[in-house]
Amino acid sequence: MKGRVIHLDHLKGREAAALVIDGQLQDLLIAADNEAPLTGAIYRATVDRPVKGQGGVFVRLPEGGSGFLRQVSGLAPGQRVLVQVTGTAEAGKATPVTTRLLFKSRFCIVTPGAPGLNVSRRIRDEDLREDLTSIAQGVMEGSEHGLILRSACEDADDDDIAADIADTRALAEAVLADMTGEPELLVDGPSPHEAAWRDWTDVTPDEVIEGAFARDSVLEMVDEVLTPHVPLPSGASMVIEQTRALVAVDVNTGPDTSPAAGMKANVAVARDLPRQLRLRGLGGQIVVDFAPMSKKDRATLDQVLRAAFKGESAETSLVGWTGMGLYELVRKRDRMPLSEAMA
């Protein structure tokens, strides 16, 4: 099926959303089968104890939960603090949180502590950018918070944008004023269907389909992502395996024995790696054993990797080459690994 299609359905009885573009699975969200805090949730927490040597502190969350916070300047044990969940926790570890809150909606992001008004770079029409700026300035007048207008504003009605900004501003101000009391969930993180509507409609979808994972072969696409082996053009492939310490990616050229086989396979891997990591929910330390190629070609591959990861929502640091010729990167754990979600 051609075009941009958002599928809303359930997997193993849990809410799920899939983004399919031109017949290829691009993103997949599945609700966790536990009580773990959702990414994006905002809590009133209590500062607990510092973690020596790691530059952070534990914070107490509701119902005995624990979060790990790296921004510790000016914090003291027992102090109330507002934190937002930034990703999923590894087994046995505290939930990662931040004090840099973001209030996201379909058309805007309110950024407390980061003043200024910005319009998405994807909106290139200068007249439209000026109109959107004028709308935002009117709604945000008197506010100390910053605002980012998302690319979904490009095709939206002015009144809808203004209402969305006003609602998001009101939510932010209410939450920031709620500092009294024991640890409490103030804003829950979005469910998969909510996140799909909020984050995948920046480009207007051709279709939004409910309850058709089986009919439209989404289940088969998910099964393909659950296998370590990923076929690539010309018979090349990569194998993605998760260990306790890191994610290992091995690149194979397959039957192609031409001098350019290694570079062709490596470029194909570099272009598809962000999608594969996103779909599989993999993060942390990632090590890629690219196929053999000339050292002079590494600069070209670096450019391909930077371009491929440029649009990723999950923060990714491209560390570079090791002395053994492996490539290292670090990706933020922004969701539960698919293998765990489907277990």
Q: What percent of the chain has pLDDT over 90?
A: 80
Indicate whether 288 pLDDT > 70: yes
pLDDT at 49: 85
Centre a 10 Å sphere on the Cβ of residue 72 and count the other Cβ atoms it contains.
15
Dist CA 194 CA 201 (whole Å): 11
CB 293 within 8 A of CB 261: no
Q: What is the pLDDT of residues 85-137, one digit of tens each?
A: 998 887 778 999 999 999 999 999 999 989 999 999 999 999 999 999 999 99
Tell me phi and psi for residue 215, to 5 degrees.
-65, -40
Q: Does the domain at residues 226-341 carry the CATH identifier 3.40.630?
A: yes
Q: What value does the mean pLDDT take over residues 15-38?
A: 91
Indicate whether 33 pLDDT > 80: no
Q: What value does the mean pLDDT take over residues 39-66?
A: 89
- Whole-model pTM? 0.90
pLDDT at 1: 67
Q: What is the pLDDT of residues 169-215, one digit of tens each?
A: 999 999 999 999 999 999 999 999 999 999 998 888 999 999 999 99
Q: What is the pLDDT of residues 246-261, one digit of tens each?
A: 999 999 998 988 889 9
CB 145 within 8 A of CB 169: yes
Taking the domain 42-100, which CATH number applies? 2.40.50.140
